[in-house]
Each structure stands twice: as C-alpha cells, then as structure tokens.
Structure 1
C-alpha cells in the first residue's frame, strides 16, 4: 500500500512541484493550501507524513505542529521554510516537527528525507532488540518503545525515542552530532546538526531531574554527546 503524504503550501508552483515528484516516487499525495485545511484532511485521508510550510494563511506551520502534538497526533512532519534564521527552524522543531528544509531545496533531497523517516518508523525490532535498558532511574523498553523514569511512563515523540534508544545502544561512547544525525535520522549527506541539539534538549527536559545539570545525557565539548548514568543500577536484560 502506498504511503500517504499531505503537502501543505500556499504557493501553487511549489505545491505542484512537490506533489509531482512525490507521486513519481510512488507516494499517494494530497495538497492543501492553508493550515486549517490540514485538520479537515486528517480523518478522510489519514496521512502517514505531512510536508508543512512554515508560512501559511489562517494557521501557520508552527500552530499546526503545536495543535497536532496537543492532540497526541504523532504523524511525522517535515517543515519547509523560506527563512534562513535558525531560530525559525528551531521553533518548528520545538513545536513537534521531525525535520526541516530550507527553500529552495532539491525535490530529491526531500524524497530522501521522507524515505529515511519511513525507514526509521517502519523498522521492527528483532529478537536482539527485545531488551530493557535500565540506567539508574531510567528504563527504556526497546520492543515496546516505552520509557519510564522512576517507574512512571514518559511521553516521547517517535524521533525522541529513537534518539534515546540509539544512545542506549552506545552507552558510554562519545557520539558526534554527525554520527547521531546519520544513525537516528538516517541521513547520508552533510546536514544541519542543530536538529540533534534540539532533540537532545527535549530529551533532557523529559528524563532529567534538572536539564541544566544532566545525569544521563552528557555534552562532550566540541564533539557531541554520550549517555551515562549510575553504573550500579545499570543493566540491559531481556524484556
């Protein structure tokens, strides 16, 4: 069955270009031209992914992201922006976007990023992944895709979970931002590594007692990050 993609852009030439190329790549595509129309399409179309422009009439891309996540809708979102300011890109990530691209962009690069997202969300853990990573107060259930802190469930986005699980698999190892970008986002080209920093910040807010003095996700200056924690309580055991 074809994956369904909803394209949201108020510039007809861009919307048509994206839709044309996505259809050539084998996707089922629908287009709408303002933010409010996204919610009219959720039930009848049920998109597997949304390509969402930042600047839209009626409801902008940030508002759409925020409302979707408020409704606990975890549909992957690729944000498009004509703005070069990194704060605008980070705002999209802060409000629930999984990725962003700056206009103008290559349609093939957009397709590559969409395919990478689908590869990550569709991959099913095998028997070796049927483990629980327990590190101090933190427990990550690989197969169930659940995270508990102090025995209480923590809500993570799909991408936040994939990032945390990747860190767990490489616990104690210093990982560069580019390694995380490749391992979690599956990018095979040089990307903007700030996307990693934003998701790390979100994870810290959710799993650390104090995000400013983390006990799990440590920053290694000028390199990247590593997952650490109380060694006495650590184990990786079959679920």
Structure 2
C-alpha cells in the first residue's frame, strides 16, 4: 500500500502590536494553508521565535518594549537565516535600506493589500527553495570571489564581504549564470519573485550596492553592465 504524506504547513510568526492588523493577517494566512501564531510585542515575539522553528517571520518595526529593528538585529546576530519580512509604516528609502541592511529579506509598507503581502511571502519561499536546491553546489566561484551557499559566507581574495540577504541572493543568481547577460526582468523574477510589486529600478540599486562591496576595493571588476540589456558577472 502506498501512503501519500502531505507536506507540513509552513509556520509563520507575526510580531505586530496592532491587534486588528495581526488578526486580519493571521486569518488570511490560515486561509492560505499556513500555520500562524502572533505576538503583541518584540519581547514576547523574540521568545516565541527562539522556542520554535519557523518558516517565516512577519515583523512590525514600530512596537513597544522592543522594536522590530532590535528584534531583527538579535535574530541575525544569532546566525539565524529565517526569512523576515518587515511591516512598516515608514516609507522612506532610508528606513527601508536600514531594514534590509540589518538582514531583512523584504519589507512592505502599511497600509497594504493582503494580496501583495501574500505575493511577497510566496516570493520569499521560492527564493529559499531555489537556494536549497543548489546546496549540492555549495561553493560557487568567479575568479577570486567565492560564495558558500550553505553558510552564506562571501569572500574575495580571502577578504570577508558582508552582504544583506537580498544582496546575497542577487550575487548567487548572477554567479550561477556567470558569463550570461541577464536583463532586469529576469533578475526581478528570480531574485524578487514573479509576484514582485515595486519599481524595476530596484535591480539597478542593488547592483550598485553589490559593486561597492564586491568590486570597488579590488583591481578587477566582476560585475559588468551591458548597455541597453542588463548585467553580467564574469572574469
């Protein structure tokens, strides 16, 4: 007899101090088949996060007792790479960049449509799945640039390079397609996800971030612009 086992539902933790928002998100995610729990402040949320394994964290930034940025920092400092999407009422580029630099995988600005949040969650899971499929090819290289996909350690000429999760995903995608010119739409689809809602120039912004870290301090640039088409990484 063959028994089919359904995969366990993905577990999502929502840390959000506005009870109505947390309740609505929880109901919508449960309707989509996720297993969901909530926490009303950063201290309780961090305790819940530490006590169980989660597939995704939805994290509000502005909270009493312990704000979202501090929760994010503590999680990433512990070495945990669980995908984290920030829920923020702040829509300035500066605040978003700070969140991403602290290790967030994505952000969404309040107020938002639940369809957009669901799309971003799916995109996070797709990217993680893509990374897991490539674990057999654990170390990828271009010239003296080495990327360990499993440990997420990046070095060039034996010098450690610190990348945000999104910068890391972008770099891995470029390396896995080295010598191949990739247009912005290809990069958006594979790194940000097919359902990404936002400006396409986000690719240009993150290429610029990568170049500062991967190329600017070294003699030979690896990331190249192909005018009118897109970008390529090559020796």
When normalised by structure 2's length, the TM-score is 0.79
For the Cα contact (< 8 Å) 2:100–2:166, is it kept in 1? no
Q: Which moved more, 1:55-64 or 1:143-152?
A: 143-152
CA distance in structure 2 between the partners assigned to 1:201 and 1:66 by the alignment: 24
Asked whether 1:192 is paired with 2:177, we answer no
For the Cα contact (< 8 Å) 1:99–1:195, is it kept in 2? no
What's the C-alpha RMSD, in Å, of the aligned pairs? Answer: 3.1
Q: Please, which of 22, 25, 31 is the counterpart of residue 32 of structure 2?
A: 25
CA distance in structure 2 between the partners assigned to 1:162 and 1:79 by the alignment: 18
CA distance in structure 2 between the partners assigned to 1:60 and 1:207 by the alignment: 31
Q: Please, which of 49, 55, 64 is the counterpart of residue 56 of structure 2?
A: 49
Structure 2 unaligned runs (5+)?
1-7
Give the match for residue 117 of structure 1: 124
Q: Please, which of 101, 105, 115 is the counterpart of residue 98 of structure 1?
A: 105
Structure 1 unaligned runs (5+)?
230-239
User: Residue 197 of structure 1: CA displacement?
Assistant: 5.0
When normalised by structure 1's length, the TM-score is 0.78
Q: Please, which of 186, 191, 203 is the counterpart of residue 179 of structure 1?
A: 186
CA distance in structure 1 between the partners assigned to 2:30 and 2:90 by the alignment: 27
Give the match for residue 237 of structure 1: none
Give the match for residue 223 of structure 2: 217
For the Cα contact (< 8 Å) 2:119–2:196, is it kept in 1? no
CA distance in structure 2 between the partners assigned to 1:131 and 1:31 by the alignment: 35
Count of matched residue pairs: 227
CA distance in structure 2 between the partners assigned to 1:114 and 1:104 by the alignment: 16
Q: Which moved more, 1:172-181 or 1:79-88?
A: 172-181
Give the match for residue 34 of structure 1: 41
Asked whether 1:58 is paired with 2:60, we answer no
User: Residue 111 of structure 1: CA displacement?
Assistant: 1.5
For the Cα contact (< 8 Å) 2:179–2:233, is it kept in 1? yes
Deviations 1:71-113 (A, max 9, x none): 2111111111122322222221111110111112121221221
For the Cα contact (< 8 Å) 1:204–1:214, is it kept in 2? no
Seen in structure 2, the aligned counterparts of structure 1 residues 56 and 159 have a Cα distance that, compared at 3 Å, is: same
CA distance in structure 1 between the partners assigned to 2:37 and 2:178 by the alignment: 42
User: Residue 173 of structure 1: CA displacement?
Assistant: 4.2
Secondary structure at the aligned position of 1:180 is classed as helix
Asked whether 1:6 is paired with 2:36, we answer no
For the Cα contact (< 8 Å) 1:121–1:158, is it kept in 2? no
